[in-house]
Amino acid sequence: MRLILFGAPGSGKGTQAKLASQEWGLAHISTGDILRQEVSQGTPLGQRARAFMDDGALVPDDLILEMIGRRLEEDDARRGFILDGYPRTVPQAQGLDRLLSGLGQKIDAVISLEVSFEELTRRLTARRMCPGCGAIYNRISQPPRQSGVCDNCGRILEQRSDDRPETVANRLRVYRQQTEPVMEYYRAQGLWRRIDGARNPQEVFSSFKEVLTPRASGR
């Protein structure tokens, strides 16, 4: 099965993608996670991407397409994947179609997590992330057992630099202007499935499974 998880920053894509990858054995491919890793390792790609990320702007399409093209050729991705945070522009969606047709593959569904902008702002500024294992927490709705410390590996949690209030506003603006048009691209192909994302992760995941039921069984 090949899925795209679509939604604004803070809509819960990372959490749902992890649940889906466990449930169906899919490769979880998050362009944001790959980019953050490149930045922390100081690679040439990371060095070019960093300034865009710190501003809450999108990294240029050509860099993203090259990066995703390499990732889709890896063995785990060939068995099925869930894309998280990609495609974010119409040229990226068109580029994905070209890459997939070269691999003889196609997307089965695009799942859109719908959350109001007010709730997104609240969630993003309260989000904390573990620099060790990547676990995601929320100071209000999903706090760790011990304040500021990862439940899984005991590392001190951090706020992503782009989750600060001034950058969050820009990321939501960028989403409206550049990413929302991607919706129409997939609606026109009949792949679009909407889910109310303003609930707890398990409830959202139940709806996720429901909208996919016929496909999940026939992967």
Report the site for ligand AMP in 1-20 (rule: CB under 6 A). 9
Residue 127: active-site member: yes
Contacting residue, 3, 39, 59, 130, with ligand AMP by CB under 6 A: 59
| Tally of CB atoms within 10 A around 14 | 20
Nearer to ligand AMP, 65 or 216 (CB): 65
Which CB, 21 or 31, lies closer to ligand AMP?
31
Catalytic pick from 36, 50, 88, 128?
88
Residues in binding contact with ligand AMP, number by CB under 6 A: 17
d(CA 74, CA 97): 17
38 binds ligand AMP (CB under 6 A): no
* Residue 96 within binding range of ligand AMP, rule CB under 6 A: no
- Written as six digits, the tokens of 122 are 């609240």
Q: How far is CA 126 from the centre of its chain?
A: 18
CB 149 within 8 A of CB 34: no
**C-beta of 205: minimal distance to ligand AMP in Å?**
19
- Out of 13, 18, 71, 123, pick the active-site residue: 13
User: Residue 184's Cα: distance from chain center in Å?
Assistant: 19
- 8 A C-beta contact, residue 99 and residue 65: yes
**Number of C-beta neighbours around residue 139 at 10 A:** 16
Helix, coil or strand: residue 138: strand
Instruction: Identify the residue whose tokens are 């119409």.
Output: 90
Query: Can you tell me which of 19, 45, 53, 172 binds ligand AMP, judged by CB under 6 A?
Result: 53
Q: Whose CA is closest to 157, among 141, 139, 169?
A: 139
How far, rounded to the nearest angstrom, does the alpha carbon of residue 67 sit from its chain's CA centroid? 15
- Contact between 185 and ligand AMP by CB under 6 A: the answer reads no
Q: Is 107 in the site for ligand AMP (CB under 6 A)?
A: no
Catalytic: 176? no
- Of 50, 71, 123, 127, catalytic: 127
Owner of token pair 């990321």: 171
Would you count residue 58 as binding ligand AMP (CB under 6 A)? Answer: yes
Whether 20 contacts 26, CB under 8 Å: yes
CB of 58 to ligand AMP, least distance (A): 4
Task: Name the one range near ligand AMP by CB under 6 A: 20-28, 37-45, 71-79, 83-91.
Answer: 83-91
Enzyme catalytic residues:
13, 88, 127, 160, 171
Residues lying near ligand AMP in the complex (CB under 6 A) are found at 9, 31-32, 35, 52-53, 56-59, 64, 85-86, 88, 92, 162, 171
